[in-house]
Structures are given as structure tokens and as C-alpha cells.
Chains A and B, each alone.
Chain A
Amino acid sequence: DQQVKQNSPSLSVQEGRISILNCDYTNSMFDYFLWYKKYPAEGPTFLISISSIKDKNEDGRFTVFLNKSAKHLSLHIVPSQPGDSAVYFCAASASSGAGSYQLTFGKGTKLSVIP
């Protein structure tokens, strides 16, 4: 039972265009969401996060949008660069109990930015 779903295994985008990565969740207890980026043979690195009290968080070229009613979040990368090519994981946590220190990850989306 996947509580965090990334339904697109892969995405190809032209350099300079927008990349949009999507994520859906089913657990209503989740109230904090994160995106991690992973290059081959490296561990995941934190990219950006959002709390459920917000619907948008921006950091440079990266923006995360949260739609709580739809249990959906998305990561926008504008403009996309070849160095953004990596696997992107959506992750979620809850602020109480075990969820406060456990992350539940999606399966990831492999982004390829074509020069």
C-alpha cells in the first residue's frame, strides 16, 4: 500500500523549459512534505520542503506547490538545467508519533534535461 505515489517513473524536458514533477499521498496525517534529489551512486540530498500550513514554497529555481484537498504536491523547476538530471523523490512525514521522524518516500521520478 503506497502512501506516497509518484506515478511518472521518468520525465524528459528540454533545457530552459519547466520541469513539473508530481506526487500524490493518501495518508491524512502527513503534514510535512519534502523533495529529495538523487544522483547515481550517491545518497539522496534534501532539495526543498513545505509544511501543510502553506500552499507554496519557493527556493531559487525550485518551487513546491501543495494542494491539501487533493492530497497532491508538485515540484516545479524553472528553468531546467542539464545538471538537474537526477531521480527526484517525494517524501512525507507526520508531526506526531512515529511520523515525526520517519519519512515515507515515493518510488521516484527520473528527470532527464536535454541540452
Chain B
Amino acid sequence: GAGVSQTPSNKVTEKGKYVELRCDPISGHTALYWYRQSLGQGPEFLIYFQGTGAADDSGLPNDRFFAVRPEGSVSTLKIQRTERGDSAVYLCASSLNPQVNTGELFFGEGSRLTVL
């Protein structure tokens, strides 16, 4: 497809398990972002990639969260030892230009994570 693709769309896991969420950005978009939307909240910034490197990971809540983008395209968000508070919709977005005032962010449909 032409849009940002995220898999899985839904993931239910048990507390303490490991989870991976995948994002396939729009072809040619060098900038990739992960946001997290908890219930009743707006999306919150987690991490930004420019190419293969994480240019800013200041939004990751703790060291249980990690993200990679080894070839500058697909990205994987990894969550270790999941906790119930990690339950949220994880949104991925991509753009041609990282400056939000010059380029539109295109969001995927999100991966809904539920930790029991």
C-alpha cells in the first residue's frame, strides 16, 4: 500500500512478556516517528529516526523500550518485561522532511497493545 503500515494491528500479551511492533513507512520517507496514545490522551512522542539512526529517543519512558531501524526503512519498537501501564495504541508516522512546519506527517493506523 501507499500509506504507513503497522503490524500487528492488535496485540494482547501478559505482564512480563516481550513485544515487538513493526512499522513500514511510506517509501522514500527518511524521517520516522513513534508516538504512543494512551486512553483519553493525545499521542505522545517516543522516538524519531532520521535514516537509520535514532536522532532523538528522549520520549522513550524507560529502558524497557527500544526501537531500531537497521536499513533506514522498516522500524521495530521493542518492549521488554511489559507492564499493564504499557497498554496503549502505538502510532508510527513518516515524513519526507523532519521539520513539521515544512512536511506533513503521515500516520499509520496504530498497533493496539493490551497487557493483561
Tally of contacts, chain A with chain B, CB under 8 A: 65
* Interchain CA distance A26-B106 in the complex, whole Å: 26
B20 partner residues in chain A, CB cutoff 8 A: none
Contact, CB under 8 Å: B98 / A100:
yes
A101 partner residues in chain B, CB cutoff 8 A: 31, 33, 48, 55-56, 98-100
B91 at the interface (CB under 8 A from A): yes
| In the complex, chain A residues 12-69 whose Cβ is within 8 Å of any chain B Cβ | 31-32, 34, 36, 41-46, 49, 51
A32 partner residues in chain B, CB cutoff 8 A: 100-101
- Of B40, B44, B107, which is in contact with the most chain A CB atoms at under 10 Å from its CB? B107
Contact, CB under 8 Å: B99 / A89:
no
* Interchain CA distance A31-B42 in the complex, whole Å: 19
| Cβ 8 A contact of B100, one of A42, A45, A93, A106 | A93
B105 at the interface (CB under 8 A from A): yes
Q: Size of chain B's interface in residues, with CB distance under 8 A?
A: 28
Q: Size of chain A's interface in residues, with CB distance under 8 A?
A: 28
A76 at the interface (CB under 8 A from B): no
| Cβ 8 A contact of B44, one of A41, A105, A108 | A105
Contact, CB under 8 Å: B108 / A43:
yes
Expressed in whole angstroms, the minimum distance between the Cβ of A71 and any Cβ of chain B is 17
* Contact pattern, B 71-111, Cβ under 8 Å of A = 1, otherwise 0: 00000000000000000000101000011110011111110
- 15 A-B contacts, Cβ less than 8 Å apart? A34-B100, A42-B109, A43-B4, A43-B108, A43-B110, A44-B107, A46-B105, A49-B101, A51-B101, A95-B101, A100-B98, A100-B99, A101-B31, A101-B48, A103-B105
Which 4 A-B pairs have CB atoms at the shortest separation, nearest pair first? A105-B42, A43-B107, A32-B101, A101-B98
> Residues of A with Cβ closer than 8 Å to B?
4, 6, 31-32, 34, 36, 41-46, 49, 51, 89, 91, 93, 95, 98, 100-108
